[in-house]
Amino acid sequence: MKKILAVVLGVGFFMSVTHAQDKEIRPAAIGISYILNDFQTADLIRSTSLSRVLANKQWAKPKAMSPGLAVSYFQGLHKHIDFAGTAAFSFLRYPLPDKFFHSDRLLIEADASANFKMFSEKYWFQPYLIAGIGASMYGGKYFGAFIPTGVGMKVNLFDDAHLFTTAQYRIPVTTETANYHFMYQFGIAGRVGKIKEPELKPLPPAPVPPVDTDKDGIIDSLDKCPTVPGLAKYDGCPIPDTDNDGINDEEDKCPTVPGLARYAGCPIPDTDKDGLNDEEDKCPTEAGPVSNNGCPFVDTDGDGIADKDDWCPTEKGLKENNGCPKLEEYNFNANSIQFATGSAQLLSTATKELNKLVTIMNEHPEFRVSIEGHTDNTGKAAFNQTLSERRAAAVKDYLVKKGISADRLDTAGYGQDQPIDDNNTAKGRKANRRVDFKLVK
């Protein structure tokens, strides 16, 4: 195809250049085309208007146009811009201004233009706009210049050939030697030059594979442990076990402290921080003493005294009363336990109050009571000591008679040694003549 076109177009205007092509840029090509020169339509448009010519369908018919042949050279400059050089040959009577010719003469028109394409070469269909500059020679005597403008369309047939057609409006620059006219072009073009094939370089000889003794993918020259399989991140050595607990550092959450696998390499935890690890702690989330297996002591009544130390574990009490409430809180008034002056005989008010104590002790069989007698400082100390002991015994005897076991009652006498008020006043001496009741274990 290329050689046939070269013979037909044997015009020494162009030389092809062989070079590597971008697939989106048009390769160098030479084309031949059939042309028609239309002076009539151009003259009607200038003498009337384009709209009138179109409305009245006054454009020239092909038989009124002058035919010819053209050769063209194309070369892509950019994927959207091509260079086009064309030489057109026609025999016609050129309508030059103020001149008349009796016979046809040879018109040669040569132009160089840029084709502005919508699509690159990877598409088979490419419309484009034309703008350039040209020169003409008519009858070997009249030389002129013109500006070719117009539109074109290219259709790729194969990688080496394509059809093209253009419609150009040629505007004279030298109005004395050139005239306005249309030129229509219908042609075929083929690639020139050879497609440069990529140079294939011979493959270098296969390198000798480096030695990898332990087959861990790290060659011996880079492997710090060449005989033991390892990982690249450890320079070819196995994953370390810093704390030597049998769990590698990547799986050990405590890599510097020996631990157990079930705790991800950490020691047995002590969740409640009570000094007893969770595996030995029966209450791992509540702090408690080791003596109670890591559990806090129960304080049923919430009085701050653990049940193990609370004589009254179900009733809020006082620490000084071993976790029990004072007897006074059971509506018992020890101040009402009075005796006849200088004797151990209980008054009637005293027995009434002691009956309340009988009820309390029956309701609380766990209670043991210490009965402590006291006197004021009237009289001799030895007498007062004996009197305090007798009064404590009198209270115990009364309670035993009311059914309270003697084992639950202790007595003591302190005479005048433990006053709670001033013995120099009648009020104070009355307060000191008393019997105290205390819960004991």
* CATH number of the domain within which 132 lies: 2.40.160.20
In a domain, 209, yes or no: no
Structure confidence at residue 87 (pLDDT): 95
Structure confidence at residue 185 (pLDDT): 95
Q: What whole-number distance in Å separates Cα of residue 209 and Cα of residue 349?
A: 115
Taking the CA atoms of residue 300, residue 306, residue 309 and residue 312 in that order, the dihedral angle to the nearest 10 degrees is -20
In a domain, 220, yes or no: no
- Counting the structural domains of the chain, the total is 2
Q: Say which residue the tokens 């091509």 belong to.
A: 82
Q: What is the CATH number of the domain that holds 361?
A: 3.30.1330.60
Last residue of a domain, one of 126, 159, 191: 191
Q: 32-65 in b/e burial notation, b at 16+ Cβ within 10 A?
A: bbebbbbbbbbebbeeeeeeebeeeeebbeeeeb
pLDDT tens profile 253-275: 899 889 888 888 898 888 888 88
What's the mean pLDDT in 366-380?
Answer: 91
In a domain, 251, yes or no: no
Q: How confident is the model at residue 335 (pLDDT cuts 50, 70, 90)?
A: confident
Widest pairwise Cα distance in the chain: 180
- Composition of the chain by helix, strand, coil, percent to 5: 20, 30, 50
- Tell me which DSSP letter residue 294 carries: T
Strand partners, 156: 162
Mean pLDDT over the full length of the chain:
85
Last residue of a domain, one of 174, 191, 208: 191
Would you state the structure tokens that stand for residue 149, as one six-digit string?
């403008």
Tell me which of 315 and 109 has the higher pLDDT.
Answer: 109
By the 8 A CB rule, do 256 and 266 touch? Answer: no
Q: Say which residue the tokens 């309670």 belong to.
A: 399
In a domain, 298, yes or no: no
**What residues make up the domain containing 413?**
331-440
Last residue of a domain, one of 191, 210, 227: 191
What's the mean pLDDT in 24-36?
Answer: 91
pLDDT tens profile 106-156: 999 999 999 999 988 888 899 999 999 999 999 889 999 999 999 999 998
In a domain, 170, yes or no: yes
Structure confidence at residue 86 (pLDDT): 94
Report which secondary-structure segment, H or E, holds 46: helix 39-47
In a domain, 267, yes or no: no
In a domain, 104, yes or no: yes
| pLDDT over threshold 90, residue 36 | yes
In a domain, 93, yes or no: yes
CA distance from start to end of the chain: 128
| Best-predicted range by mean pLDDT (17-26, 184-193, 212-221) | 184-193
pTM: 0.42
Helix (H, G, I), strand (E, B) or coil at 362: helix
Helix (H, G, I), strand (E, B) or coil at 79: coil
Structure confidence at residue 9 (pLDDT): 38
Q: What whole-number distance in Å separates Cα of residue 261 and Cα of residue 241?
A: 13
Structure confidence at residue 13 (pLDDT): 37
Q: What whole-number distance in Å separates Cα of residue 359 and Cα of residue 107?
A: 148
Q: Say which residue the tokens 């208007």 belong to.
A: 49
